[in-house]
A and B are shown apart, each in its own frame.
Chain A
Amino acid sequence: MIEVDGLTKRYGRATAVDGVSFRVERGEILGFLGPNGAGKTTTMRILTCYLPPTDGTARVAGHDVFAQPMEVKKRVGYLPETPPLYPDMSVRDYLDFCARIKGVPGSERRTRVADAMEKCRVGDVRDKLIAKLSKGYRQRVGLAQAILHNPDVLILDEPTAGLDPKQIIETRELIRSLAGSHTVVLSTHILPEVSMTCGRVVIINKGRVVAEDTPDNLTRRLKGAGTIRVEARGDAAAVLEAVRAVPGVLAAHPRGGHDGVVVVDVEAEAGRDVRAELAWAVVTKGHGLVGLQQMGMSLEEIFLHLTTTDAAAEPASAA
């Protein structure tokens, strides 16, 4: 549904997006994850034909954003970071106007507007001025605007930013309910959001794609490089020494202990499972093995891993 190839956007000397490529299949929810200033908004603006790319191509629903912007615009619903609302209009008037400029035929306009209002639960404020609405309602009106013309593709820039926890949950449910009939791309810098709503994640940092996978796979892929927690009975220094001697172990950090049990966090090489060797080493040195646990990295840790250290980013982007 969306094919992005080598997309690049330069502002003068600064490069906001640098050779980004990814694909989104029909009905999928793709999470676009990255810290602020990573190039998420710029990429989305290119996909919605708001900005022309400096280089590379992007095709949405089979149409090139540069060559056939009108065709793309007809098939895309877009919610920018700040919902594009006219404060001096009522919700109903605003959506009616949006329906007009999005080319919804006159005969269907009323039903489409009513439909979008119902889906986004803004029906109870339909006659209120947008200026008087709370942040949560504004966000929902913005979302209603995006789904009005029943677009194939929905592009949502930080749809939950600035909402309270209850509203965030509601918005996520709404987005999930839209998947299937729509292809959704949403950006966020909040990690739990991706694992909760998205089927696939593209992590972007400094304008480059750093990783692309399902939330589960990303976690699994980096599990090897994760930590293993060893709990053993015995002398702390001796346990540490035994653990460090195991081939494949990069480092071991004592994490204190209690009741004579020593806790050590062991970092192992990526893709190498050293649990058996660890257990063997501890036991043969005469320490009582109390616990051995693989500490799976949460997406949050992966994210920090990927975007704060260059060395870790290289193998991930090559994979």
Chain B
Amino acid sequence: MTALRNVAAIVGKEWRHYFGSPIAWVALFVWTMLFGIFFYFALSYFLEASMRVAQQGMEFGGGMKLSLNEVMIRPLFHNMAVVALFIAPMLTMRLFAEEKRQGTIELLATSPVSDLQVVLGKFLAAAGLYALMILAGLVNVALMWAYASSPPEWKPILTGALGLFLLGSCFLAMGTFVSTLTRNQIVAGILSFCLFLGMWTLGWAEDPMGGPVSKVVAYLGVTTHLEDLVKGVVDLKDVVFYLSVITFGLFLAHQSVESQRWRA
């Protein structure tokens, strides 16, 4: 009970920092703007493609319908995953680095809140803001119900959004850890970005002809597990993978915060 209250207090404080400074507004602005632009491009591409298909249908008879989910929403989510890669360091770099620079870490460390509660509170604050960003972006998608002659399936959209959230949360958890390592926000931001990029590129090792090593490496990539979720398939192993990375990141952050006190 008190544990929950403590975590909630940290979350509230972090949100006050996010929205009291330009960070949250810039992140929301960039995210929703890019979401809109990608949505627009995906829509134009879809219109063009469906026109072409309709023409072919008239010429050769038969004809088929393109799936909105397949042709439009799936690439949109993949694009937004790239944006998440860039925005996540912005959300996490100051979490601990700033507390250390200001000396306010001393306030947190000498108050009756545990290190784990502080780590969780900070991560949840970042994840909450990120969830808000995804919801704001989904407004674009919601418009399709108003205008499309045959609306898309909503389940793959939901699982795709979940995938996007989980993928970004992996970054946020790891970013929280990196932020505990330094008292300089910029250093934390750059290091986080490099780490996220590494987590991302592991997925490029995916090679159908490759041996077990490339399979394992590819399995560890964060993008590998997004594919099925965006298609609308909730595979337990993907969700478990993301949750494990998040837990691992928070574990590292907790260990780091605790050990720094011992070494200090």
Contact = CB atoms under 8 A, between A and B. Distances in A.
Interface of A: 11, 45, 48-52, 70, 73-74, 76, 78, 80, 82, 84-89, 93, 97-98, 100-103, 145
A92 to B, nearest CB: 12
Interface stretch (B53-61, B98-106, B182-190, B231-239): B98-106
Contact of A73 (B20, B103, B110, B261): B110
Contacts of B13: 86, 97
Interface stretch (B2-10, B150-158, B196-204): B2-10
Contacts of B111: 73, 98, 101-102
Contacts, number: 69
Contact of A103 (B2, B21, B105, B264): B2
Contacts of B106: 45, 50, 78, 80, 84
Given A70-B112, A82-B103, A86-B104, A100 B9 contact: yes
Contacts of A82: 103
Nearest to B109: A50
Contact of B6 (A45, A80, A101): A101
15 contacts: A48-B110, A51-B264, A73-B110, A80-B107, A84-B102, A84-B107, A85-B102, A86-B104, A87-B102, A88-B17, A89-B16, A93-B16, A98-B111, A101-B10, A101-B108
Interface of B: 2, 5-6, 9-10, 12-13, 16-17, 20-21, 102-114, 261-262, 264
Nearest to B114: A70
B149 to A, nearest CB: 49
A73 B13 CA distance: 20
B5 A100 contact: yes
Contacts of B107: 80, 84, 98, 145
B104 A49 contact: no
A86 B112 CA distance: 18
A39 B155 CA distance: 62
A76 B110 contact: yes
B110 A78 contact: yes
A52 B17 contact: no
A76 B110 CA distance: 8
Contacts of B5: 100
B21 A101 contact: no
A103 B5 CA distance: 9
